Structure 1
Amino acid sequence: MYDVVNNYFEVDNKEHVKLNANENPYKIYELTKSLEDYELNRYPDNDALLLRETYGKCIGIKKENILAGNGSDEMINLIISSYISKGDTVITLEPDFSMYDFYTRRQGGNITKYKFFSGGNKFNIDEFISFAKSNNPRLIIFSNPNNPTGNVIDEVDIFKMLIEFEDIKVVIDEAYVEFYGKSMVSNIEKYPNLIIIRTLSKAWSMAALRVGFLIANNATIEEIKGNKVPYNINSISQSLATELLKYEETFKKNLDLIFRERKKVYKELVLLQEKYKIFKVYPSKANFIYGQFNGKYILNFLKELEFNNIKIRSFKDNYFRITIGSFNENKILIEVIKNFLGNIVKKKIVGEY
């Protein structure tokens, strides 16, 4: 179980091109507040009222339908600990965010995974429903867009899922939804079993503040909030996040930069894929690109990136995930990959993927 956490908390403080944690390389604005502006001798607002109200205005949801927490991780833990007991089954996707596994197992539950990604094939909702029903789940949870593939499940399929599993909670982790543009958040009243998770760590460029949200109808909020620990978001994170959420124009401009860079990086990688035929990359609706290398070259590829101080994430079966960085970071990345592939050609060891 703790291997999951060790991988998730991987830290490297050396200077490098950091494309492994799906962070936004662009800041919202330069902060000017000093620590003297905060009452550090006082506990923070237990209900994070101003933060919830400000975020609610951003997404068109009342603050009463929002819980705020110490990153979306706390919200995931809060949901799973509220509904899962020893022996209960949680259905998720394969692959998906590793912390679903961690929190489920900590509760004594069983995590069962539906294979979501198969060479970029479309999600089969009927097959998923059949699979899930055969496992009698207490909870369904998945990220949309999916982490790490960048694939998405269409709204029509999610609606069908919510109807078929109306007696259990269906949790959609929308950590990357701003890069996709299609949220289910407006459906929380229509579907009482729907719970949405959001974060400010990705598109909103606030990873260091650790602020996440749980969004659901009033009854679900009342069910869950009694399990929330008190004072779970410190005063500094609440204050800075509330202030930064007011910079929507900058936020939108930064998103446009990510979209532009995502399109460019994907196009460059596809050209290299077609030329060398030893790796594949897949279209993404998130701020990263997922791919798979020929097993013959994956270790050398990762070593080459590490030698050039470039950090990406690698997964089993030779898959990898590259976060979309800044213009300069992406330029360095593509140049290093081109040089690596060119050296393979010189050594005459290229083979079909």
Structure 2
Amino acid sequence: PGGEAVAVAPLPVIALGIDPAVALALTRAGLKTIGDLAARPGDILVARFGALLATRLRRVTGREDTRLTPRRAVAACMVERRFAEPVGRREDLLGALGLILGTAGATLEERGEGGRLFEASFFRTDGVVRRIGVETGEATRDAAALIRLFAEKMHLIDDPSDPGFGFDLIRLAVLRTEAQMQRQARLDGRGEADRETVALIDRLVARFGRDSVVRLVDRHSHIPERAEAMRPAIAVGATLAWPAMRATRPLTRPLQLFDPPQPIETLAEVPDGPPATFHWRRTTHQIARAEGPERIATEWWRDGESALTRDYYCLEDREGRRFWVFRQGLYGAETTAPRWFVHGLFA
């Protein structure tokens, strides 16, 4: 266990059990062994050869567990509380859950851990079980913060069509834990912004759902509209790092991008030169200055219209408005009728 990737690295790609045509295409691209594939980013493989190849690769290299697990995994920490009489009021259930969270927090503190995924199970007297899950952006054992997250979801235990006879047992399971060191408070009060951001993300996720609160993450692509991706904010964390920008020259990328780029009608002095005028949104712009081109080729695995080369220009019209436009397709080499698009606006 743990050595699968090294063991299968020298095997040919056909050992993945993939379609022979896909294996031939990989071999022609220079990816002859499983080790060659494992060194490539997964999103590139999915874009070119489909999700099945990436799934087979994860399973063969041991990065995805394929065992059948009919039983639920044992929680890292579990605390429960029974009631002598059934409890039906939501406020009483939250109060009892707060006591349980305090007990679980003390147990986690002894281990030097914090929870990332919590599940509260409410057992009704007639055998019905209601479960509420809460996920946090970083390891925590703060009972007060967690009880606020559970309060956002307490409506899930209500069933107007079948109110039942109350709950006689609450069980809290900490399904995922991480190491958590004790934090030292700084005298200047700094360092709190990240924690406040994480707490805000946790509350928004609890209220609107995991997939409704997202943030941009850097993605390795030189194509402007593919240079970032949307990921659930709770999975990325508040300490997201972006590549540092050099401030030695003006920005080469606009602050506002259009996705997708918007087509424009242009008039140029030469076919492969910058436009002298262009018409966009019922307005004709007379170009006073132009800088470029900056040539950007598409990824090698893409085909069709999206595979055409782009020549980008920074344009400034006579009113001082600045645009980022590109010509799609090399004139004469890739197409006889290249198209123009405006991709962004500079401030």
With the length of structure 2 as denominator, give the TM-score of the two structures. Answer: 0.21
Q: Which one has the bigger helix percentage?
A: 1
| Structure of greater relative contact order (alpha carbons < 8 Å, 6+ residues apart) | 1
CA radius of gyration, larger in: 2
